[in-house]
C-alpha cells in the first residue's frame, strides 16, 4: 500500500500543474491536449491489452517495481525539460505508473486478502492513495511556486522510495489463490 500511495501520489504535481507548466512554456492548447490524451490512451492500452499479459508473464512484483521506476524516469524528465518531443516520449509512461501498478495491486490483493474482507481491503487501498495524493497536491502548490518545473523532481524522489517498497512489499508468496510474485 505504501508503494502504491507514493507512486499514485507522485501524480499530484502532474495532475495539478502540468497544464500550467506547458502553457507557461508556450505550448498551444492542441499540443497540451495531445500530451494529456497520450497519457490517457496509454492507460487504457495497458488496462485492456498489455497489462494483464505483463502480470501473467512477469508477476505483480516486477510490475510494481517497473511502475515505480517508470515514475522516476517520467518525473525526472518532466522536471528537467519542457521539450515537446521529450514530453511526448514520457507521457505514455502513465500506462505503467498508473494502470500497471493498479493491476499489480489488484493481483496482490486477490492473492493475499481473504474474500470476506476484500471490500475493506479495496477501501483501505483507495483511501491510502487518495489521502497521500490529496496531501501531495497541497505540497505541490508550494513546490511549484518555489521551483516551477523542477518541482517534479521531488515526485521522482517519491518513486525512488517506492521502488524498494514495491520490491519487498510484493515479495514472492504463495497464497490461497496462487503465487503472484
Q: What band does 98 get if pLDDT is binned at 50, 70 and 90?
A: very high
Contacts of 18 (CB under 8 A, 6+ apart): 35, 36, 78
**pLDDT tens readout for residues 73-94:** 999 999 999 999 999 999 999 9
Q: Please determine, for residue 1, whether its predicted confidence score (pLDDT) is greater than 60.
A: yes
Q: Which residues pair with 175 in a beta bridge?
A: 178
What is the DSSP secondary structure assignment for residue 50, as one 8-state letter? I
Q: Contact at 8 Å (CB) between 152 and 14?
A: yes
Residue where the block lists cell 486478502: 113
> Domain boundaries in the chain?
2-179
Quick one: cell of 102?
A: 493498479
Q: What band does 174 get if pLDDT is binned at 50, 70 and 90?
A: very low
Distance CA 66, CA 145 (A): 30
Share of the chain above pLDDT 90, in %: 92
Distance CA 10, CA 106 (A): 19
Q: Please determine, for residue 177, whether its predicted confidence score (pLDDT) is greater than 60.
A: no
Residue 86's pLDDT is what?
A: 98
CATH 2.40.10.350 fits 2-179, yes or no: no
**pLDDT tens readout for residues 21-64:** 999 999 999 999 999 999 999 999 999 999 999 999 999 999 99
Q: What is the pTM of this model?
A: 0.92
Q: Please determine, for residue 136, whether its predicted confidence score (pLDDT) is greater than 80.
A: yes
Amino acid at each position: 500500500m505504501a508503494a502504491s500511495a507514493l507512486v499514485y501520489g507522485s501524480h499530484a504535481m502532474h495532475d495539478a500543474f502540468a497544464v500550467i507548466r506547458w502553457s507557461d512554456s508556450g505550448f498551444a492548447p492542441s499540443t497540451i491536449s495531445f500530451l494529456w490524451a497520450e497519457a490517457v490512451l496509454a492507460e487504457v492500452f495497458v488496462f485492456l491489452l498489455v497489462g494483464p499479459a505483463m502480470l501473467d508473464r512477469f508477476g505483480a512484483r516486477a510490475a510494481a517495481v517497473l511502475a515505480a521506476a517508470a515514475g522516476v524516469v517520467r518525473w525526472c524528465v518532466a522536471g528537467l525539460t519542457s521539450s515537446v518531443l521529450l514530453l511526448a516520449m514520457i507521457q505514455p509512461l502513465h500506462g505503467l505508473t498508473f494502470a500497471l501498478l493498479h493491476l499489480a495491486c489488484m493481483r496482490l490483493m486477490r492473492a493475499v486478502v481473504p474474500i470476506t474482507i476484500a471490500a475493506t481491503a479495496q477501501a483501505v487501498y483507495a483511501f491510502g492513495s487518495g489521502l497521500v495524493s490529496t496531501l501531495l497536491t497541497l505540497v505541490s502548490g508550494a513546490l511549484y511556486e518555489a521551483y516551477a518545473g523542477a518541482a517534479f523532481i521531488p515526485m521522482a524522489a517519491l518513486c525512488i522510495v517506492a521502488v524498494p517498497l514495491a520490491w519487498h512489499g510484493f515479495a514472492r508468496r504463495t497464497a490461497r489463490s496462487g503465487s503472484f510474485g
